[in-house]
């Protein structure tokens, strides 16, 4: 993948201080070098500056950016981060209409599609992407983001209708007028929604993110936001047998399309049904080409001794990984992380995200991606299958229904019980979260014939795709791209998600089988014990010394009288919490973030303030 950044204003002439603004553009570009270490470039004119860093995956020789076409003497320029999976189809149609291609890159396909069809052309793109197009004829900038927000794109608006944008927030901070500030809503999001974010929020005051399925058009007439795709409710008319057939074809097609690359691909293999299915389909395809698939699995030192089974994590992965390696005949790599590395990388993962994130669930994946990136450039992952096919407990248990709460955060008390009472009162987290929840569920329409339970499940499915899946996609993008590793997510294929979202629950969980559609449509592609293995999420560290280490580091942070933690944490409560026994089976976010992860999350907030010099504006 790549990194993009830039600035644009029809009311400013950057060339009047050309050296100054070129230097800024270079600094913005440097911030994104980890996302694209292979090549880089810039484009500069009176009203615009564009920067690009490239991770070379397709058309390694000729796909450099920014990429430009001149039409009637006017420049049209693109900087692009992503992967287009229907590039060949689009290219064929463009050639029929008389367009000549100078490269084999999907970047050129996107630029010429814009020139042929105009700004709404994005509706025809099948892929993961964020990109900016400068239209020199009309002095206009367009910012695009893919349907599910797999690829990030942040921006802020300054006076004179000036927009500053980048793949990561750190690129915006290279622009002198953009400062890292946190206001009351930043803290509401941190403690009420975090590590998720509200769609379109950049957490910092004044910083936003282009929403998934949306593009922005910026010109002398102002800024227009256009939704080009949204998830919709439709009656499902296929029989159960036809549904399995279609779903199976869509899954295989999505995985095979995402294997397109001019460099070797690999897969993450956990031994669960999702990663095993992706690996199986990739392996079969490569075998036909006389190639062997490389696979990677993750675990933690000491888990064979300290692992604690619970309702969220019923079994360890290693025995199932071994079975799949034998089944696939893959070139496998067993990666393991110890508790000190995981703790040490908590700060690095804040730097990768530019904000607090999923604590050690993130820092461990950051470590694993670093190790994979030493050998690979492209990986196909298992992400999004549970959100799409209904794999989480909150889809199945009625105690999660109708609570007007996000199902992965049923209890808000752990989020504010360590705060100073006056600060907690000012945040009013319960009211804030309820408002966000109600606004979100109002966006999806139930079908007239659905009963209350089916409507609740539809709402949960929508919330999972809009919020929970986005959090995991953010995690995957930042932890992989921080090391120049491109992670692809075939289960986030738009056609597949649109279809599965509307399959009725009686099919999705037929006979009580979790992710029944995924499993039954994949019979014959995996060993039965893998295909029907009970869900076990991303591996988690159970080493007791990890929790002790986190406690010591948080206490050390509190001993610093200048630590911003003193602004909002009740030190007495925090010390009591550090000394208490943590419950691993009752997460405060998702399935993995329990007591120890709260310590890690607070540490990340401390690192965030320290590393970025965040100004508090309350």
Residues classed as catalytic: 2
Q: What is d(CA 554, CA 88) in angstroms, rounded to the nearest whole number?
A: 52
Q: Which phi and psi angles does 55 have, rounded to 5°?
A: -100, 110
How far apart are alpha carbons 169 and 99 in whole angstroms? Answer: 36
How many CA atoms lie less than 13 Å away from 92 in the CB half-sphere?
Answer: 3
DSSP-derived letter for residue 50 is: E
d(CA 269, CA 403) in angstroms, rounded, equals 35
Q: Containing H/E element for 235? A: none
Question: How far are the Cα atoms of 75, 171, 207, 427, 574 from residue 606, in angstroms, in the given order?
Answer: 45, 21, 20, 19, 14
Dist. CA 216–CA 211, nearest whole Å: 9
Q: What is the DSSP letter of 593?
A: B
DSSP string, 358-401: SHHHHHHHHHHHHHHHTT-SEEE--TTHHHHHT-SHHHH-GGGT
Please give the C-alpha separations between residue 39 and each of 33, 56, 63, 261, in angstroms, as whole numbers: 9, 8, 10, 17
Torsion from C-alpha of 295, 299, 301, 303, nearest 10 degrees: -140
Using an 8 Å Cβ cutoff, are 113 and 154 in contact?
no
H or E stretch at 123: none
DSSP state at residue 57 = -
Please measure the distance between the N-terminal and C-terminal CA atoms of the chain and give it in whole angstroms.
38
How far is C-alpha 448 from the geometric centre of its chain's CA atoms? 33
């Amino acid at each position: 993948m790549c990194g993009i950044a830039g600035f644009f204003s029809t009311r400013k002439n950057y060339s009047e201080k050309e050296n100054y603004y070129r230097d800024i553009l270079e600094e913005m570009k440097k911030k994104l070098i980890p996302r694209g270490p292979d090549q880089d470039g810039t484009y500069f004119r009176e009203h615009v500056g564009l920067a690009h860093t490239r991770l070379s995956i397709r058309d390694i020789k000729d796909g450099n950016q920014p990429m430009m076409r001149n039409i009637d003497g006017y420049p049209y320029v693109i900087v692009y981060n992503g992967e287009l999976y229907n590039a060949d189809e689009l290219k064929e149609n463009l050639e029929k209409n008389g367009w000549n291609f100078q490269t084999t890159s999907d970047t050129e396909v996107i630029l010429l599609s814009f020139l042929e069809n105009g700004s709404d052309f994005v509706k025809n793109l099948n892929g993961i992407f964020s990109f900016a197009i400068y239209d020199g004829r009309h002095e206009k900038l367009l910012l695009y983001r893919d349907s599910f927000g797999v690829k990030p794109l942040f921006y802020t608006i300054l006076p004179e209708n000036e927009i500053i944008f980048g793949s990561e927030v750190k690129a915006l901070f290279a622009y002198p007028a953009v400062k890292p500030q946190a206001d009351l809503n930043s803290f509401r999001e941190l403690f009420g929604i975090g590590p998720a974010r509200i769609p379109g929020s950049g957490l910092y005051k004044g910083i936003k993110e282009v929403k998934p399925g949306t593009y922005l058009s910026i010109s002398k007439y102002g800024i227009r936001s256009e939704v080009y795709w949204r998830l919709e409710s439709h009656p499902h008319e296929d029989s159960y047998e036809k549904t399995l057939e279609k779903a199976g074809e869509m899954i295989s097609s999505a995985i095979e399309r995402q294997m397109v690359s001019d460099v070797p691909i690999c897969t993450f293999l956990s031994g669960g049904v999702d990663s095993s299915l992706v690996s199986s389909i990739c392996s079969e395809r490569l075998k036909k080409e006389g190639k062997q698939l490389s696979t990677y699995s993750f675990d933690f030192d000491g888990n064979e001794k300290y692992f604690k089974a619970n309702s969220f994590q019923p079994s360890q992965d290693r025995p199932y990984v071994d079975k799949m390696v034998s089944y696939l005949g893959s070139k496998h790599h067993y990666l393991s992380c110890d508790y000190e590395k995981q703790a040490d990388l908590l700060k690095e993962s804040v730097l990768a995200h530019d904000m607090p994130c999923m604590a050690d669930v993130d820092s461990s994946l950051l470590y694993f991606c670093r190790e994979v990136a030493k050998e690979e450039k492209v990986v196909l992952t298992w992400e999004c299958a549970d959100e799409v096919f209904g794999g989480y407990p909150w889809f199945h248990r009625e105690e999660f229904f109708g609570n007007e709460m996000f199902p992965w955060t049923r209890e808000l008390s752990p989020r504010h019980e360590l705060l100073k009472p006056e600060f907690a009162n000012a945040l009013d987290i319960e009211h804030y979260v309820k408002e966000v929840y109600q606004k979100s569920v109002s966006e999806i329409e139930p079908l007239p014939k659905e009963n209350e339970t089916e409507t609740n499940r539809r709402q949960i499915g929508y919330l999972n795709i809009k919020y929970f899946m986005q959090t995991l996609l953010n995690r995957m993008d930042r932890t992989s791209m921080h090391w120049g590793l491109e992670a692809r997510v075939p289960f986030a294929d738009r056609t597949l998600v649109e279809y599965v979202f509307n399959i009725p629950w009686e099919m999705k969980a037929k006979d009580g089988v979790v992710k029944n559609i995924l499993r039954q449509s994949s019979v014959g592609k995996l060993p039965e014990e893998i295909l029907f293995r009970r869900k076990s999420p991303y591996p988690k560290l159970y080493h007791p010394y990890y929790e002790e280490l986190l406690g010591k580091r948080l206490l050390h942070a509190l001993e610093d009288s200048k630590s911003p933690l003193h602004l909002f944490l009740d030190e007495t409560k925090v010390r009591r919490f550090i000394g208490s026994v943590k419950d691993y089976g009752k997460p405060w976010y998702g399935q993995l973030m329990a007591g120890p992860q709260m310590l890690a999350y607070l540490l990340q907030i401390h690192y965030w303030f320290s590393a970025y010099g965040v100004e508090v504006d309350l």
